[in-house]
């Protein structure tokens, strides 16, 4: 067997790829793999990637040829690459672009050079619902309102559609970045925008950018707006995020102040740049009523829609996005992990992954803070353990999450970090109220008025208060640059999404250059510990060393 000992890759027949970190060609291999393979985990010494149809199609959609994927593996592999892997790359890459969406005088067409493939599409029930007629041996007429739906149906058939039907320009908007001595696009942000716009005005302009929390996804969106120069709708997670987007837009874009609007429960402004929430778009009085505000999508001359935290996109927004495929779309996220497994819908309806920067790479470059990640395992007292033993699974998880012995460990950690800005975050309000009483710290929940939230965040940022308790509302879009410590007392079962977002609360570079600390308090030998193992997967996948302490070891 031909063995090239200096090469860092081991390609296996199950489509996994092992990458050795400690070698001279590591960076070259990492950058090439990132284009067509999904990172599964990246602990200290060996990173694991997986090549699958969606990862290959993401690469093909950005213009990467199968020959380049094959060359990357064969030139960097330590051992001969299994033949089945190379053949699957060639075959799956060849599927992308075999079916295309085009627009001509006849209307919207699904086209292919393979008449038998179109016959298969015509015979498929889900695809047929999107079609109106045959237009010849190499094309089928598509209902214009079904542009997104036909792409969904075709990817389930195994043939992702290359959408060449173009975009509406939207209303013109003269917007540019207000770069200065204190603010300028970072190199990776510029690369992300260029990747989003690859192909120019006809083909570029839809897809997903993956960057860690604190790495400036908002800036990437504003730079994309400056490329497109059109009216823009921005969808985000909550009112706090809306206000932060507005503040960033005013500070970093050359835009008239009266051109930035807010469409929320408090205000209903529709201006050239409008920021709203997923909650307002999916609001309806009852489950059988129509969605009151979804008309915001189509009733205005948008040329770009930005989906913040795209991994959280709710099902009704997916459905409506399927019907506005003529509008450019930019998805922003720290992780494309979806707990519902709908990554293929993000690919078809928002667009392919255009750019992905590894967390640890940006940490080494100084753009996000280094972090110490610690799980503290806490025992239960006898009474709680007996209640736990006799409970159903759901009750067991809550009992373990709210274990009162976590409070003593929490107090010790807070004392240990009394000179730092500390966030305490959890799932259960009763537990958080107990902590607020114990520590005399202010608490923010979903019921906290927005003005009060804003003031508490301000006091925390300025150091007037050093300890702040937040419920799940703290998972997203709170800009607390000097938060140095986060203590997680309970979480949402095994959600890797949530773990990513919570770690992101403390990853902005610190003014003193120090590292962040992320503590997770977990009840030993319970479902709390079992689910924590799944949550920690995300952190180890990103390369973070995960240290485990016993409660007694916390001084």
Number of other residues whose CB lies within 10 A of the CB of residue 146: 20
d(CA 490, CA 501): 14
Q: Tell me the mean pLDDT in the region 526-531.
A: 89
d(CA 56, CA 210): 17
Report the pLDDT value the prediction gives residue 324, as an integer from 0 to 100. Answer: 85
Specify the range with the lowest mean pLDDT, choosing from 66-70, 74-78, 119-123, 444-448.
444-448
From first CA to last CA, the distance across the chain in angstroms is 54
Query: Using the 8-state DSSP alphabet, how is residue 296 labeled?
Result: H
Indicate if 86 and 113 belong to the same structural domain.
no
> How far does Cα 393 stand from its chain's mean position?
30
d(CA 154, CA 161): 7
Q: Which of 334, 357, 380 is the last residue of a domain?
A: 357
Indicate if 207 and 306 belong to the same structural domain.
yes
Indicate if 327 and 278 belong to the same structural domain.
yes
Number of other residues whose CB lies within 10 A of the CB of residue 115: 12
For 234-282, what is each residue's pLDDT tens digit?
999 888 889 889 999 999 999 987 999 999 988 999 999 999 998 888 8
Number of domains comprising the chain: 4
Instruction: Indicate if the pLDDT at residue 536 is higher than 80.
Output: no
For 417-465, what is each residue's pLDDT tens digit?
999 999 999 989 999 999 999 999 999 998 888 889 889 988 998 899 9
Nearest to 241 by CA among 499, 424, 476: 476
Do 539 and 368 form a contact (C-beta atoms < 8 A)? no
d(CA 112, CA 95): 11
Indicate if 407 and 429 belong to the same structural domain.
yes
Alpha-carbon Rg for the chain in angstroms: 25
Do 521 and 406 form a contact (C-beta atoms < 8 A)? yes
- Assigned domain for 319 exists: yes
For 368-380, what is each residue's pLDDT tens digit?
888 888 999 999 9
Residue 229 pLDDT grade (very low, low, confident, very high; cuts 50, 70, 90): very high
Do 348 and 160 form a contact (C-beta atoms < 8 A)? yes
Q: Helix, strand, or coil here: 331?
A: strand
Q: Helix, strand, or coil here: 62?
A: coil
Do 295 and 268 form a contact (C-beta atoms < 8 A)? no
- Assigned domain for 208 exists: yes
pTM: 0.81
d(CA 393, CA 401): 12
Indicate if 410 and 439 belong to the same structural domain.
yes
Instruction: Indicate if the pLDDT at residue 477 is higher than 60.
Output: no
Instruction: Indicate if the pLDDT at residue 201 is higher than 70.
Output: no
Indicate if 69 and 146 belong to the same structural domain.
no
Instruction: Indicate if the pLDDT at residue 337 is higher than 90.
Output: no
Distances (CA, A) of 41 to 57, 320, 504, 540: 21, 34, 18, 6
Specify the range with the lowest mean pLDDT, choosing from 68-82, 129-143, 155-169, 306-320.
306-320
Do 334 and 496 form a contact (C-beta atoms < 8 A)? no
Query: What is the β-pairing status of strands 467-470 and 371-378?
Result: unpaired
Report the pLDDT value the prediction gives residue 371, as an integer from 0 to 100. Answer: 87
Q: CB-based contacts of 228: which residues, under 8 Å, 6+ apart? A: 170, 205, 303, 304, 328
Q: Which of 75, 95, 115 is the last residue of a domain?
A: 95
- Assigned domain for 169 exists: no
Indicate if 159 and 77 belong to the same structural domain.
no
- Assigned domain for 2 exists: no
Indicate if 308 and 448 belong to the same structural domain.
no
Indicate if 219 and 272 belong to the same structural domain.
yes
Please report how the helices 239-252 and 217-228 are oriented relative to each other, as an axis angle in degrees rounded to 10. Answer: 60
For 167-200, what is each residue's pLDDT tens digit?
888 999 999 999 887 788 999 999 999 999 986 6
- The backbone torsions φ and ψ at residue 488, rounded to the nearest 5 degrees and listed phi first, read -95, 115
Q: Residues in the chain, how many?
A: 555
The residue segments making up the domain with residue 147 are: 99-163
- Assigned domain for 168 exists: no
Average pLDDT, the chain: 88
Instruction: Indicate if the pLDDT at residue 294 is higher than 80.
Output: no
Domain of 259: which CATH number? 3.40.50.300
Do 507 and 368 form a contact (C-beta atoms < 8 A)? yes
Q: Helix, strand, or coil here: 531?
A: helix
Report the pLDDT value the prediction gives residue 461, as an integer from 0 to 100. Answer: 87
d(CA 153, CA 130): 9
Q: Which of 357, 379, 403 is the last residue of a domain?
A: 357
Q: Tell me the mean pLDDT in the region 147-158.
A: 93
Indicate if 114 and 87 belong to the same structural domain.
no
Residue 494 pLDDT grade (very low, low, confident, very high; cuts 50, 70, 90): low
Which range, 198-212, 242-256, 276-290, 462-476, has the best average confidence (pLDDT)? 242-256
């Amino acid at each position: 067997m031909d063995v090239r000992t200096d090469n860092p890759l081991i390609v296996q027949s199950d489509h996994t790829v092992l990458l050795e970190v400690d070698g001279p060609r590591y960076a070259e291999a990492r950058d090439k793999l990132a284009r067509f393979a999904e990172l599964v985990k990246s602990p200290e010494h060996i990173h694991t990637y997986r090549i699958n149809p969606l990862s290959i199609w993401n690469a093909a959609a950005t213009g990467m040829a199968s020959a380049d994927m094959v060359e990357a593996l064969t030139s960097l592999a330590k051992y001969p690459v299994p033949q089945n892997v190379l053949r699957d790359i060639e075959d799956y890459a060849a599927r992308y672009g075999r079916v295309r969406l085009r627009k001509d005088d006849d209307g919207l067409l699904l086209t292919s050079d393979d008449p038998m493939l179109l016959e298969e599409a015509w015979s498929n029930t889900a695809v047929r619902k999107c079609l109106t007629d045959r237009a010849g041996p190499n094309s089928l007429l598509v209902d214009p309102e079904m542009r997104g739906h036909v792409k969904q149906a075709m990817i389930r058939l195994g043939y992702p559609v290359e959408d060449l039907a173009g975009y509406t320009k939207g209303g013109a908007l003269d917007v540019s970045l207000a770069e200065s001595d204190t603010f300028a696009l970072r190199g990776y942000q510029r690369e992300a925008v260029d990747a989003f716009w690859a192909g120019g005005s006809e083909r570029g302009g839809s897809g997903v950018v993956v960057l860690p929390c604190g790495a400036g996804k908002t800036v990437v969106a504003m730079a994309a707006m400056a490329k497109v120069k059109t009216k823009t709708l921005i969808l985000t997670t909550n009112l706090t995020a809306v206000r932060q987007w507005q503040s960033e837009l005013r500070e970093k874009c050359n835009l008239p102040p009266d051109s930035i609007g807010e469409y929320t429960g408090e205000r209903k402004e529709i201006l050239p740049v409008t920021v709203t929430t997923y909650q307002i778009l999916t609001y309806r009085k009852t489950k059988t009523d129509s969605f009151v505000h979804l008309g915001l999508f189509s009733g205005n001359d948008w040329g770009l829609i930005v989906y913040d935290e795209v991994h959280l996109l709710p099902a009704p927004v997916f459905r409506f996005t399927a019907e506005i495929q003529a509008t450019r779309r930019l998805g922003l996220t720290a992780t494309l992990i979806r707990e519902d497994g709908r990554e293929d819908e993000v690919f078809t309806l928002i667009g392919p992954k255009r750019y992905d920067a590894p967390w640890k790479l940006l940490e080494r470059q100084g753009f996000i803070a280094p972090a110490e990640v610690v799980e503290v395992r806490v025992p239960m007292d006898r009474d709680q353990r007996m209640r736990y033993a006799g409970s159903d699974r759901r009750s067991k998880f809550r009992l373990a999450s709210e274990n009162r012995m976590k409070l003593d460990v929490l107090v010790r950690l807070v004392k240990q970090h009394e000179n730092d800005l500390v966030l305490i975050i959890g799932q259960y309000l009763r537990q958080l109220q107990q902590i607020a009483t114990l520590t005399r710290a202010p608490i923010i929940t979903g019921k906290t008025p927005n003005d009060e939230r804003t003031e508490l965040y301000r006091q925390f940022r300025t150091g007037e208060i050093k300890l702040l308790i937040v419920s799940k509302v703290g998972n997203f879009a709170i800009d607390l640059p000097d938060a140095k410590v986060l203590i997680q007392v309970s979480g949402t079962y095994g959600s890797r999404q949530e773990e990513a977002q919570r770690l992101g609360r403390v990853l902005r570079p610190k003014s003193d250059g120090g590292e962040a600390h992320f503590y997770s308090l977990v009840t030993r030998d319970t479902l709390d510990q079992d689910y924590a193992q799944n949550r920690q997967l995300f952190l180890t996948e990103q390369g973070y060393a995960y240290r485990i302490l016993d409660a007694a070891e916390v001084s």
